[in-house]
Chain A
Amino acid sequence: MMFWPGTHRRFRESLSPYIDGELEANAAERLEAHLAACEGCRLELQQLRATAAALHDLPEVQVPRSFTLSPDRIAARRPLTGAAAPLALGMRLAAAGLAVALAAVLVVDLGGLAGDNQAGTTAQQAASERNAGYAAPTDSSVAPDAGSDTPTPPKTPEAQPAAATGDDGIDALATAEIALGVTLGLLVLGGLALAFAGRKT
Chain B
Amino acid sequence: MQTDEASLIERSQRGDLDAFNALVLAYQGQVYGVCLRMLGSPQPAEDATQEAFVAAFRAVSRFRRGSLRAWLLRIAANVCYDELRRRRSRPQLPLEAPAGEEQFAAEPAAPDEPLEERAERRELARCLQQGLATLPADQRLAVILRDVQGLAYDEVAEATGASLGTVKSRISRGRAALRDFLLAHGELLPSRFRHSGEG
Query: Contact residues of A with B, CB < 8 Å?
Result: 12-13, 15-17, 20, 22, 43, 46-71, 73-74, 78, 81-82, 84-85, 88
Contacts and interface: CB of A to CB of B under 8 A. Distances in A.
A43 B194 CA distance: 9
Most buried by B among A48, A61, A65: A61
B8 to A, nearest CB: 13
B128 A56 contact: no
Given A15-B172, A60-B33, A74-B57, A46 B197 contact: yes
Interface residues of B, number: 58
Contacts of B51: 78
Most buried by B among A46, A68, A81, A88: A68
Majority secondary structure, B binding face = helix
A66 B24 CA distance: 9
A81 B46 CA distance: 13
Contacts of B90: 82, 84
A79 to B, nearest CB: 9
Most buried by B among A53, A67, A73: A67
A47 B105 contact: no
Contacts of A12: 176
A42 to B, nearest CB: 8
Interface in B14-57: 17, 20-21, 24-25, 28-29, 31-33, 36-37, 42, 46-47, 49-51, 53-54, 57
